[in-house]
Chains A and B, each alone.
Chain A
């Protein structure tokens, strides 16, 4: 089974405020508020760390969930965020020089 890589889409604006991650699409100004799991995924989505590693080290460490179950949920979530152009998903590492971060301009 191939590994998935996720990267923050540089075309969105993101801010974390009081623990809430808010993201605005630069394309159509739609505002998204991420839940805790999506926030972890977003923060870890550097394009280089495989999704299963993010799940193992970040999500399973925080939630009482099996790695297999968490990975399945994370893949679904990543593809959902990708459909809104918040994340990029690829089976290869994703090169990007301008990933948006929390509070970045």
Chain B
């Protein structure tokens, strides 16, 4: 008599961003291949996964990926919801699930959300900023859409390593020297080029501004804090985590030099950044 049930093969892939391995499990080989391509350079880890997501693929829908994301917590469980996906994650069991169609954008959003939640508790953050390593130090360039993140990334000299042109990944440095470390991310902006999966200590953060000359000006601490908070990626409707993210931003301002970088769109601006 034939078996009435058959075990479905589970295909896994570990995506490691910012030193945090996340394993995603799917039963769809084509989707796994899509993720491998999407996160090239960030696939695999020597560490065991810190989070496991089972992906439940649904038929394509016309649900809006531009809808507002909703991130809430009930007891120990987080729930993420947007037009194009639903997900849950339980930090205590390190497991969760994602229900979405076979596209790379939904899981990308889930990964961003999970990383912001984990980082907020550790004093780290995701920032709307480009970041680049030069001479062994990371420089961050923050600004809203149109401020010049992609432009400054595109103008970077050959000796610079692009970490991201869109979303920077910043962790507190666990070592004695303190400070912060910026990691490469696969989160891209208009440049559509994945960052390198490397990291370096953060040397400075620049608030970008287009202008008629290249110059760096000091920014008062209060303005620096407000600008940093305005560029934080944060989704959770959760008082404790909001407070943690708020204080993390002030810690960052107290430790990292923040200046305004006014620049004209040519490569000479990089003469100021070393």
Residues of A near any B CB (own CB < 8 A): 11-13, 15, 17-20, 22, 24-29, 31, 33, 103, 105
Contacts and interface: CB of A to CB of B under 8 A. Distances in A.
22 contacts: A11-B239, A12-B243, A13-B243, A15-B225, A17-B221, A17-B222, A17-B250, A18-B221, A20-B222, A22-B226, A24-B229, A24-B242, A24-B243, A25-B242, A26-B239, A26-B240, A27-B242, A28-B237, A29-B242, A31-B226, A33-B226, A105-B243
Q: Is chain B's interface secondary structure helix, strand, loop, or mixed overall?
A: helix
B128 to A, nearest CB: 15
Interface of B: 220-222, 225-226, 229, 234, 237, 239-240, 242-244, 246-247, 250, 253
Contact of B246 (A15, A18, A27, A28): A15
B71 to A, nearest CB: 12
A31 B182 CA distance: 26
Given A13-B247, A31-B229, A18 B242 contact: no
Contacts of A28: 237
B242 A26 contact: yes
Contacts of B221: 17-18, 20
B242 A13 contact: yes
A46 B229 CA distance: 27
B112 to A, nearest CB: 17
Contacts of A25: 242
